[in-house]
Amino acid sequence: MGFVDYEVKDKIAIITINREKALNALNSQVLDDLSAVLDGVDTDVVRALILTGAGEKSFVAGADIGEMSTLSKAEGSAFAKKGNDLFRRIETFPIPVIAAINGFALGGGCEISMSCDFRICAESAVFGQPEVGLGITPGFGGTQRLARLVGPGMAKQLIYTAKNIKADEALRIGLVNKVVPLEELLPTAEKLANQIAANAPIAVRACKKAINEGLELDMDKAVALEAEIFGTCFETEDQREGMANFLRKKDDPAKVKVVDFKNK
């Protein structure tokens, strides 16, 4: 589809932003294409997504500067809302989304990666929020998610100076979980996605919901939410099978098996 490729590999799928000539910059069409691809994800089958960029140079080099250059105030707000609605959809997508960052992750590129559940990157990756150098603020959630991820002091430094950082610094400040050579990026992402996909899918989704929604609450409400979500797991076949498997193992180690979770 247009600027976004979608490939299902058994229980995981890879979404690739493919506008390589513009370093995968996000124009309105790319945002619409990404939204349409998300519409088509069959979450009964796919248990984890990987989001990456086409080519070896750039993950996403930001929102499209050409498209933004002539926007009015109202159009600027509408463009930001369009990106924010999509990124919020990624953030709250029922299954985990791993960002596999294969190069530049600037502006909207850093922002879309932060809407994913976690980030791994190539050694060549470069992160930054260059917006103030263009006379604008981050507009796709950067002021909010960067501050939440790396703390307000570091976020303010990165955003106010508009200075890019390399992969090792991104790892040090907690923006990414892991740095690997470029050729190992997708295999590493796929391995992580498959590890997730091997676990009980309803429980994984419930964890995503509990972490995301719990972070917005005070601790009393957050643990109450966790308790409620925990309870819902006991209505699933996967809970019964997962625990029965453990108990069988205790009886007789020969009975150990890999549970084929049913997503039920």
The pair of structure tokens assigned to 34 is 């990404």
Q: In this structure, what are the phi and psi dihedrals at residue 249, rounded to the nearest 5 degrees?
A: -60, -40
Query: Does residue 226 interact with ligand CAA by CB under 6 A?
Result: no
Query: Does residue 65 interact with ligand CAA by CB under 6 A?
Result: yes
d(CA 26, CA 139): 12
Nearer to ligand CAA, 63 or 155 (CB): 63
Identify the DSSP state of 19: -
Q: Which of 6, 14, 37, 64 binds ligand CAA (CB under 6 A)?
A: 64
Smallest separation (angstroms) from ligand CAA to the CB of 93: 20
Tell me which residues are annotated as active site.
111, 131
d(CA 222, CA 242): 26
Query: Does residue 201 interact with ligand CAA by CB under 6 A?
Result: no
Give bridge partners of residue 48 from the DSSP assignment.
Answer: 12
Smallest separation (angstroms) from ligand CAA to the CB of 126: 8
Burial class (CB in 10 A: 0-12, 13-18, 19+), 98: buried
Residue 262: strand, helix, or coil? coil
Query: Does residue 25 interact with ligand CAA by CB under 6 A?
Result: yes
The pair of structure tokens assigned to 211 is 């972490």
d(CA 170, CA 177): 9
Nearer to ligand CAA, 130 or 201 (CB): 130
Query: Does residue 31 interact with ligand CAA by CB under 6 A?
Result: no
Nearer to ligand CAA, 53 or 62 (CB): 62
Nearer to ligand CAA, 71 or 259 (CB): 71
Ordered alpha helix ranges (H), the chain: 28-40, 65-68, 73-91, 108-114, 142-150, 152-161, 167-172, 182-197, 201-214, 219-233, 237-251
Smallest separation (angstroms) from ligand CAA to the CB of 108: 4
Number of helices (H) and strands (E) in the chain: give both, helices first: 11, 10
Query: Does residue 22 interact with ligand CAA by CB under 6 A?
Result: yes
83 touches 177 (CB < 8 A): no
Stretch that binds ligand CAA, among 33-41, 90-98, 137-145, 219-227 (CB under 6 A): 137-145
Query: Does residue 62 interact with ligand CAA by CB under 6 A?
Result: yes
Query: Does residue 71 interact with ligand CAA by CB under 6 A?
Result: no
Residues that contact ligand CAA, how many (by CB under 6 A) = 22
Q: Which of 38, 71, 134, 222 binds ligand CAA (CB under 6 A)?
A: 134
The pair of structure tokens assigned to 90 is 């990624």
Smallest separation (angstroms) from ligand CAA to the CB of 135: 10
Residues 79 to 98: which contact ligand CAA by CB under 6 A? Answer: 83
Give the footprint of ligand CAA on this chain (CB under 6 A). 22-23, 25, 61-66, 83, 104, 106-108, 111, 130-131, 134, 138-140, 142
